[in-house]
Chains A and B, each alone.
Chain A
Amino acid sequence: MINLRYFAGLKEQTGVSEEQVDMAGHTVEELWQWATEKYPDFQSGAARLAVNEEYALPTDVLESGDIVAFIPPVSGG
């Protein structure tokens, strides 16, 4: 299983901060497509994805146990 984390505006759209999805072996891009089908508003949220606390590439392949975070545009400072 892949562990998903949502933050800020995206968390308000999902209604949950975490969930799990059975997508080990799939790419980050495929996970993004899954997420935008389940949560269509994500398309306008311009999220980056992080796998295990590092920004990921669309072609990165997910492994069971990975933590994937949906990172909306950051605004610290």
Chain B
Amino acid sequence: MKAFEIVTTAIEPQLYADYVLRPEAGAVTLFTGHVREWTKGVRTLHLSYEAYIPMAEKKLAQIGQEIEQRWEGTNVAIAHRIGELQISDIAVVIAVSSPHRKTAYEANEYAIERIKEIVPIWKKEIWEDGEEWIGNQKKKPEGGFA
């Protein structure tokens, strides 16, 4: 495994928790994001994720650097899966270790928010009667062109 990676097979969260664990750590927060069946009354059959892999891994590493600079003593590992995912599969794992609990929670939440802002990964929901790339209905990104 790499500390910041895009993968195409099932994510094993323990690998990432083990990666960030070290003697200085008093806390490890492990977030796993899963494929949800129901979104606002619409039933998803499965999801399909696509990534611009080299840039996505670079941006995940950038998020790790941001965290390790902002919260002293933290270590971070992040993986995101692409391809076809079934209900309850793990799409993303974020492991953060730190000397103290509060920091590990805060930094972990920061990571998922930043993933949703800057990492070039796209999700398509496949329903019983159609499919759609998620994100197009949102407001345009700051600094964008369109």
With a cutoff of 8 Å between Cβ atoms, the chain B residues found around residue A32 in the complex are: 145-146
Question: Looking at the complex, which of B9-17, B65-73, B97-105, B132-140 is the stretch in contact with chain A?
Answer: B132-140
Structural contact, A75 and B146, CB atoms closer than 8 A? no
Dominant SS at the B interface?
mixed
Residue count of chain A within 8 Å CB distance of chain B:
29
Residue count of chain B within 8 Å CB distance of chain A:
34
Once bound together, how far apart are the Cα atoms of A55 and B117, in whole Å? 12
With a cutoff of 8 Å between Cβ atoms, the chain A residues found around residue B134 in the complex are: 75
Q: Which of B33, B91, B122, B140 has the most CB of A within 10 A?
A: B122
Q: Which of these, B49, B51, B54, B122, contacts A53 with CB under 8 Å?
A: B54
Can you list 14 pairs linking A and B with CB atoms under 8 Å apart?
A7-B52, A7-B122, A8-B50, A8-B133, A29-B145, A44-B146, A46-B136, A48-B144, A50-B52, A50-B120, A54-B55, A74-B117, A77-B91, A77-B92
